[in-house]
């Protein structure tokens, strides 16, 4: 069975990692998009993101055109927003059942990871080999060897 990469990226960091991985593996890529795009003003998004996370808001997303029956492994990529996954990823996890899938999370963050992995596991009991990537501004601080090791694990 094929692999799927499902991701959300606000600033482009998560997409950058997805693109790197897509170059090295055979997988279909699906982007999670909010129905109403977030502001381009970072501070506005930080405040709104905190409000959405704190109030457990399921922000509306565009339909993700994925037939999960075609995939046994889903690589789920999300930035950390207020110590958990982005609200649109939360919506995706509520709408799309990944309980019977092997889920390999990619988590990008610029600060503290918080409880992101634990929150993903609430929706995806078959989580393995999460990839946690730290950014400082636009600079990826995590070694490329960590990414390479994750890519090797995808087919194992």
Q: What is the pLDDT of residues 1-58, one digit of tens each?
A: 799 999 999 999 999 999 999 999 999 999 999 999 999 999 999 999 999 999 999 9
C-alpha dihedral, 74 to 93 to 97 to 113, nearest 10°? 50
CATH number where 65 lies: 3.40.50.360
Domain of 98 in residue numbering reads as 2-154
Give the chain's end-to-end CA distance (angstroms, integer). 13
State the average pLDDT over residues 47-71.
Answer: 95
So what's the pLDDT on residue 36? 96
pLDDT beyond 90 at 111: no
Measured in whole angstroms, the distance separating CA 10 from the mean position of its chain's CA atoms is: 11
CA 119 to chain CA centroid, nearest Å? 12
pLDDT in tens, 122-156: 999 999 999 999 999 899 999 999 999 999 999 77
Within its chain, how far is the Cα of 79 from the centroid?
Answer: 6
Q: Is 28 left (phi over 0), alpha (psi -120 to 50) or beta?
A: beta
Q: How many domains does the chain have?
A: 1
The arithmetic mean of pLDDT across residues 94-122, rounded, is: 95
């Amino acid at each position: 069975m094929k692999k799927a990469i499902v991701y959300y990226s606000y600033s482009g960091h998560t997409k950058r990692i997805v693109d790197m991985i897509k170059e090295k593996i055979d997988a279909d890529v699906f982007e999670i998009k909010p129905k109403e795009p977030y502001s381009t003003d970072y501070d506005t998004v930080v405040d709104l993101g905190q409000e959405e996370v704190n109030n457990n808001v399921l922000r509306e997303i565009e339909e993700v055109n994925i037939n999960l029956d075609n995939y046994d492994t889903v690589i789920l990529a999300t930035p950390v927003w207020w110590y958990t996954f982005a609200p649109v990823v939360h919506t995706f996890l509520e709408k799309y059942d990944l309980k019977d899938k092997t889920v390999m999370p990619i988590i990008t963050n610029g600060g503290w990871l918080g409880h992101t992995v634990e929150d993903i596991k609430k929706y995806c009991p078959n989580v393995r080999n999460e990839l946690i990537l730290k950014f400082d501004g636009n600079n990826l601080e995590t070694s490329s060897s960590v990414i390479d090791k994750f890519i090797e694990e995808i087919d194992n």
